[in-house]
Every structure is written in C-alpha cells, then in structure tokens.
Amino acid sequence: MIKYIDFKVDFQKAIRYTPEKIVKGDYSSIVFRFTTEQDISDHTLRVAFELEDGSNFLLDAVNEDSNTALLEIPTGVLSLIGTVNCQVSLYDNDSRLTNPVGFYFFVVDDFSDGAIEASDNVPILTDLIQQVNTIIDTFDGATWEIFKEGVI
C-alpha cells in the first residue's frame, strides 16, 4: 500500500505541509505529492534531501499534471534515523527557475525489527514450575517445611 504525503507549494510564498514520521527503510511505499500554485507543465520539480549524517540526494519528481508532481522516496533517503531536511525547486533543464522552498520530515526506527512476538506460551517458565512441583511432591510435608526454611 502506498502512502501519499501531500505538500502544497507556492514558490512565491512558502510550502504548506505537516512534518511526517516515516519508518526507516519504508521505501517503495512512500510518495510525496507536490501540488503547486504555479504551472509546472514544461518544467521539472527537483527535491534535494540532506540526511542526518550530511549526505545529500537530488531527485526529480514526475509531473502528473500541470500542477502536480509525484516523487517516490527511494531507499537511501530513508536509510538513517533522524531529521531529513529538504528543499524543492522548479527547474528548466539544468537551470533553477525558483528559489528553493524548505521542508523536513523525520525517519524513525522500525520497532517491529527484532521484536519478540507476544505469546502466553512460556516453555521455560512452564518447565521450571513443573520441576518445582515434582520436587515438592517428592518430599513429605515435614521434610518440605524443613527444606523451605533452609535447614536441609
């Protein structure tokens, strides 16, 4: 299932969005959808990403129509936990036509990695309880009372 994260971009003003938390490694299921005030028909929406360790990625979104572009987020962008700072700009070939508009999102740890499945089945504990019950059954009442008090 693909999750779309929406951004409303006006290159003359700002960008409107809600900072998201995206799970580390959750690639191929996250798509940024940029809706622009300006016509982007014959241009390219380019997004620069800066990860927590300072590494950078530059990706081009695919125009869906004259005011919408989609960008599927690849593996590298979601490889480190932390804040990812971004800038979106409009390009004509290799020439930038607008000032970059900034936004950010958070990459968080996947808690399900390495998690133990919850279960009422606890074989070690069950085995230990059975062993203790066998020991208790082995002793008669008086011997057991002495054993409990640490005399034996």
pLDDT at 140 exceeding the cut of 80: no
Burial of 48 from C-beta contacts in 10 A (0-12 / 13-18 / 19+): middle
Amino acid identity at 47: V
- Distance from chain centroid for Cα 7: 18
Q: How high is the pLDDT of residue 98?
A: 92
Neighbours of 131 (CB within 10 A): 10
Amino acid identity at 30: I
Q: How high is the pLDDT of residue 38?
A: 92
Q: Which of the four pLDDT bands, split at 50, 70 and 90, describes residue 150?
A: low
Tokens of 34: 């940029």
* pLDDT digit string, tens, across residues 9-62: 999 888 888 889 999 988 778 999 999 999 999 999 999 999 999 999 999 999
Do residues 54 and 45 make contact, with C-beta atoms less than 8 angstroms apart?
no
* pLDDT digit string, tens, across residues 68-115: 999 999 888 998 999 999 999 999 988 999 999 999 999 999 876 665
Q: How high is the pLDDT of residue 114?
A: 60
What is the rounded distance in angstroms from the CA atom of residue 139 to the CA atom of residue 18? 68
The alpha carbons of the chain give a radius of gyration, in whole angstroms, of 29
Strand pairing category for 68-72 and 95-96: unpaired
Q: Exposure pattern of 9-39 as b/e (b: 16+ CB <10 Å)? A: bebeeebebeebebbeeebeebbbebbbeee
pLDDT at 151 exceeding the cut of 60: no
Question: Which one-letter DSSP state was computed for residue 110?
Answer: -
Q: How high is the pLDDT of residue 147?
A: 64
What is the rounded distance in angstroms from the CA atom of residue 46 to the CA atom of residue 99? 11
- Stretch 139-145: mean pLDDT, rounded? 63
